Structure 1
Amino acid sequence: MLLPIFSVLCIFHGNYAAVILSEDLPLVNNRPIIGVLSQEQSYYLHGKYPDENYTSYIAASYVKDVEAAGARVVPIMIGKDRAYYEDILSKINGVLFPGGATYFNQSDGYADAGQHIYEIAQELNDNGDYFPIFGTCLGFELLIIIDSGRGEEENRIRCYSYSNIPLDFTDDFRTSKMFKDAPVEIIKLLATEHVTVNAHQFCIVDDNLISHGLTENWRVTSYSDDDNGVKFIASIEHTRYPFYGVQFHPEKSAYEWKLSKNYPSSINAVKSNRYFMDFFVRECRKNTHSFVSAAEENDYVIYNYEPKFTGVLGSAYHQCYLFEPRGTTA
């Protein structure tokens, strides 16, 4: 069987040879499909739908953000065995770990599913199969905690930021995969205007990378300061795999509308935040996985579910896709 042609760079470290897939792979997939990981339903929303017993959800803003970049979405359910995640990753072109408010120590939940996906994606990339992951806020923290070994003490710190703030780019950010082709106008907006939405109680700082020997695995490209002046990592990318993370929420400017949250929805905010999902979907276009048929695609895509107008119920999310029980797809 002929393998896809791509360029590789081999870096030798002691007796270890790491094969890094080139980010210059051709954009051959014009019909990308992205998996978005669901997570445990909040107690608040579960109480709003007591008869339905919804136990997991995906905020619709993530789905819309992916669709606006020219891709379709497949919901990935929690509480499944390894074979389920292996199968679904063989059909899709990348995975988004969304933000949220769940815990990492719940059995068969968001974190366990994320770990399956992370490890399978590593194996795919090691075998020459370019498979990207993007983590937002909680999803970004999950990437680092998985790579830290998911110890009893989570490798993140308390960090409170509920502000819209600029990014403080590192000196060499322009040589990163995420930002090397970003338009000058977008970089200027991100660096000088209060356009990135932060809504988190935890964060990753440099010490979290240093303490677990992750500085060679991950490259920091920008920082921000929380509401108490703590300098946290705002954007990051893996040095070997096409794995990316941001602590802020690019999806909220265009798709979340709760007045009390004060999300920036100016033209500049929407334009600058649009860059991140466009970048990620562009990465996913380098992957050629597919379903066996259009009929199989139709069985999996998010269009099989109807989003609920949860914002009117007081939720922080304007709309949500709700799944039950434990993400049953039948």
Structure 2
Amino acid sequence: MAPRVSWIATLVTALVAAAAFGLDVVAASARGPIIGVFAHPVSKHGEYIAASYVKWIEMGGGRVVPIPYNAPKEYLQEMLPQLNGLLFPGGAATVNDRAEYLYKLAIDLNDNGTYFPVWGTCLGFEWLVQLTTGDLGSLDSGLDANNITLPLNFTDAALSSRLFGGASKELYQWLAEKPITMNNHEQGIGVERFPTFSKLTEFYTVLSTNYDRKGFHFVSAFEAKKYPIYAVQFHPEKVSFEYGEYPDGTPYEVVDHSSEAITSGQYFANFFINEARKNDLKFKDPKVQQKSLIYNYQTSTFTAPGFVESYLFKHDSKNNFWRIE
């Protein structure tokens, strides 16, 4: 009898070990990609990231590491290859040499065989235009596209694109017919101006366009031809997470929160995070990862906000940028 008990015990031990090993493998493969989100200065004393961008990444299954606007290049060079993707958010900041450095690092990663996606939203879209052309004056200004929701005018290339090719027929139709993409910008690049820059036409494929209130025709979405770089002039993160109101209850922005709009925001989040799953980059040290994630910071809430919640980061006096030590 004893030998049989021993045999059963051995079998149970082996099965438990195998199950534990299997769970470990599944957990590792399913671990959420980590996206670097570039912060913007809010004053000379600190920077911010709108929490809606963080939530948008999380709704796609990703996690966030905030990247300081003026971080030393040595820090950026060390950090970016430990992330799975990069997001340039909307806002009002001027594109700086750190953003340019990150853009070039992302290009280099892809050129060297690592599939590394970059996403630009609104100002991030505009930055990618400027970074690709190498010309800060490449944008059109004076657009009347603040606080307006629009349907997309898809180009012939959209349906076969990476960005929109995976959308359901229903979602594609919603985006084309319903005003569910929220625009909030005074700059952009016109449909007529875009092809005057050979660096843009060689690098990107235009996927959608829109008209502002004055009838100006601008590019609203593109993707790189040979790189996993994507940009939209509208705000997919706002539809699910920005509900700001004035004290009298009037919405701060005309964001469409319909199920169709939220489905579109979810689609873009899923798309970007799935792109980030295509590389196996990870932090060298789990402790550094844990200290770098945005979970270490609290959000701030404002009355009648441009953003319902924001992460505010105070500059470190010694390094002039913030990080968890």
- Counterpart CA distance in 2 for 1:195 and 1:254 is 12
2:90 alignment partner in structure 1:
99
Q: Does 1:328 align with 2:322?
A: yes
Structure exhibiting the larger radius of gyration computed from Cα positions: 2
- Which residue, out of 267, 284, 289, partners 1:292? 284
Deviation at 1:292, TM superposition (A): 2.1
Deviation at 1:154, TM superposition (A): 4.0
Deviation at 1:82, TM superposition (A): 1.9
How many residues get paired?
284
Runs of 4+ in 1 over 6 A off after TM superposition: none
What's the secondary structure of 1:125's corresponding residue?
helix
With the length of structure 1 as denominator, give the TM-score of the two structures: 0.82
- Counterpart CA distance in 1 for 2:102 and 2:196 is 24
- Counterpart CA distance in 1 for 2:283 and 2:323 is 17
Are the aligned partners of 2:171 and 2:264 in contact in 1 as well (CA < 8 Å)? yes
With the length of structure 2 as denominator, give the TM-score of the two structures: 0.84
2:235 alignment partner in structure 1:
249
2:152 alignment partner in structure 1:
167
The correspondence of residues 235-274 of structure 1 with structure 2, limited to 5 A, is 235-258=221-244, 259-274=251-266
Deviations 1:157-196 (A, max 9, x none): 3312121110011123111111111111111111111100
- Which residue, out of 165, 173, 179, partners 2:164? 179
- Counterpart CA distance in 2 for 1:90 and 1:176 is 27
Are the aligned partners of 2:157 and 2:206 in contact in 1 as well (CA < 8 Å)? no
- Counterpart CA distance in 2 for 1:172 and 1:79 is 37
Deviation at 1:285, TM superposition (A): 0.3
- Which residue, out of 136, 139, 142, partners 1:155? 139
What's the secondary structure of 1:303's corresponding residue?
helix
User: Any stretches of 5+ residues in structure 2 without a counterpart?
Assistant: 1-28, 245-250
Distance 1:185 1:327, change over 3 A: farther
Identity of aligned residues (%): 37
Deviation at 1:31, TM superposition (A): 2.5
1:282 alignment partner in structure 2:
274
Are the aligned partners of 1:145 and 1:156 in contact in 2 as well (CA < 8 Å)? no
Are the aligned partners of 1:135 and 1:143 in contact in 2 as well (CA < 8 Å)? yes
Are the aligned partners of 1:61 and 1:251 in contact in 2 as well (CA < 8 Å)? yes
Are the aligned partners of 1:221 and 1:236 in contact in 2 as well (CA < 8 Å)? yes
What's the secondary structure of 2:306's corresponding residue?
coil
- Which residue, out of 205, 208, 218, partners 2:204? 218
What's the secondary structure of 1:173's corresponding residue?
coil
- Counterpart CA distance in 1 for 2:30 and 2:104 is 24
Deviation at 1:296, TM superposition (A): 1.9
1:35 alignment partner in structure 2:
36
Q: Does 1:74 align with 2:65?
A: yes
Deviation at 1:293, TM superposition (A): 3.5
- Counterpart CA distance in 2 for 1:318 and 1:173 is 32
- Counterpart CA distance in 2 for 1:231 and 1:210 is 13
Amino acid of the structure 2 residue aligned with 1:188: Q
Q: Does 1:83 align with 2:74?
A: yes
Are the aligned partners of 2:138 and 2:189 in contact in 1 as well (CA < 8 Å)? no
Amino acid of the structure 2 residue aligned with 1:172: A
- Which residue, out of 231, 240, 252, partners 2:217? 231
- Counterpart CA distance in 2 for 1:31 and 1:249 is 23
Amino acid of the structure 1 residue aligned with 2:109: L
- Which residue, out of 50, 55, 66, partners 1:59? 50
- Counterpart CA distance in 2 for 1:143 and 1:178 is 16
Amino acid of the structure 2 residue aligned with 1:141: E
When structure 1 is superposed on structure 2, of 202-211 and 296-305 the one drifting more is: 202-211
Are the aligned partners of 1:124 and 1:131 in contact in 2 as well (CA < 8 Å)? yes
- Counterpart CA distance in 2 for 1:273 and 1:185 is 14
Distance 1:327 1:58, change over 3 A: farther
Are the aligned partners of 2:151 and 2:178 in contact in 1 as well (CA < 8 Å)? yes
When structure 1 is superposed on structure 2, of 268-277 and 128-137 the one drifting more is: 268-277
2:176 alignment partner in structure 1:
191
- Counterpart CA distance in 2 for 1:217 and 1:29 is 32
- Which residue, out of 124, 141, 148, partners 1:139? 124
- Counterpart CA distance in 1 for 2:130 and 2:255 is 28
Deviation at 1:266, TM superposition (A): 1.2
Deviation at 1:209, TM superposition (A): 2.7
- Counterpart CA distance in 2 for 1:290 and 1:144 is 29
Q: More helix per residue: 1 or 2?
A: 2
